[in-house]
Chain A
Amino acid sequence: MKDLKEISTRLEIAKKKIKKTNESSGRSNAASLGKALKISTELVAAVVVGSTMGFLLDTWFGTKPLLIICFFFMGAAAGIINVFRAAKKMH
């Protein structure tokens, strides 16, 4: 019984050590550069998707150019939200 207890405490300590090294090495240079590259396209993509949606809906309902204007601005808003969220995740 005593042996088992000793082993379990040693295991616990080892696990904590692993966790510590995992946390400290998590923020490498490559990871932060990847995040920087990620944000740049985030904004553009949402504007493109929003405008495309507006254009398609316009051709369906025949309301040119009302919806494409609305959806362009909503796409821009979505892009800003995307960037905001991506930046928030970095902490």
Chain B
Amino acid sequence: MNLNPMHQFEVFKIGPEISLGDINLSFTNASLFMTISSVLILFLLFFGTKKKELVPSKIQLITEMSYTFVAKMMNDTAGSGAKSFFPFIFTLFMFVLFCNMVGMLPYSFTVTSHIIVTFTLAAVVFLGVTVVGFAKHGIKYLELFVPKGVPMALLPLIIIIEIISYLSRPVSLSVRLFANMMAGHTMMKVFGGFVISLGLLGGWLPLGFSVALTGLEILVAFLQAYVFAILTCIYLNDALNLHH
């Protein structure tokens, strides 16, 4: 029995080692669970939109609900101007949600509990939003760093602070998701370990905690996917409509 709570985050190779020059491209358990999540999303969307009935079946209902959920969220935060980015936001939301939810299954691996995964997602969002901002406004996009009504003497300081604030976006976006998932899963494993080590006499209390924590973790898994998507919408809104 492995009681180490960090053991669940170990990445290991599955199959042969593939390397391209210095880059290690081996298929790992992380890649496996990312593939599983993506395939699950594809299955859900494929079977959910196959038979379009007026009275929807359960799977069609789930698909339609996820669509309206993301569409409404985008409408509320980014306005109607961001409609063309719907596929991106929807993909991002579904991927993070399914990675989190698949990670809740016993014996599975939580992809989003690794900072490199969440940081890659956040970096794509950050670079994409910056490119969109420059494409839409040209060099005027740099006005984002110059708030209105600031005295000239303070301007250099404010600009540096604004740049730090802008650069902190991908960091906060990735660290939030990673930290929440990792802390939650570690805590669950710690309480699970207590159940084993305290045995039949004292193990009931941590078992109860484990059950409660599982419920909390499912909420957090959904919430973090939601926060990730909504923040992307907010950043997109900042880039499309240039004002504070």
Q: Which residues of A contact B (CB under 8 A)?
A: 22, 26, 30-31, 33-34, 37-38, 40-42, 44-46, 48-50, 53, 71, 74-75, 77-79, 81-82, 85, 89
> Chain A residues with Cβ under 8 A from B72's Cβ?
22
How distant is the Cα of A23 from the Cα of B93 in the complex, in angstroms? 23
Would B176 and A46 count as touching, CB distance under 8 A? no
Would B227 and A34 count as touching, CB distance under 8 A? yes
Would B223 and A74 count as touching, CB distance under 8 A? no
**Chain A to chain B contacts (Cβ below 8 Å), 20 pairs:** A22-B72, A22-B76, A34-B227, A37-B176, A37-B227, A41-B172, A45-B169, A45-B171, A45-B172, A46-B165, A48-B171, A49-B167, A49-B168, A50-B164, A53-B164, A74-B157, A75-B164, A77-B161, A81-B165, A82-B168
Q: Which residues of B contact A (CB under 8 A)?
A: 72, 75-76, 157, 160-162, 164-165, 167-169, 171-172, 175-176, 179-180, 222-224, 226-227, 230-231, 234, 244
Contact of B230 among A34, A41, A53, A78 (CB under 8 A): A34
Q: What's the least CB distance linking B167 to chain A, in Å?
A: 5
How distant is the Cα of A39 from the Cα of B181 in the complex, in angstroms? 17
> Chain A residues with Cβ under 8 A from B179's Cβ?
41
Q: Which 10 A-B pairs have the closest CB atoms?
A: A45-B172, A78-B164, A78-B165, A46-B168, A45-B171, A41-B176, A45-B168, A49-B168, A34-B227, A41-B172
Name B164's closest neighbour in chain A (CB-CB): A78
> Chain B residues with Cβ under 8 A from A33's Cβ?
223
> Chain B residues with Cβ under 8 A from A34's Cβ?
223, 226-227, 230
Name B165's closest neighbour in chain A (CB-CB): A78
How distant is the Cα of A85 from the Cα of B157 in the complex, in angstroms? 18
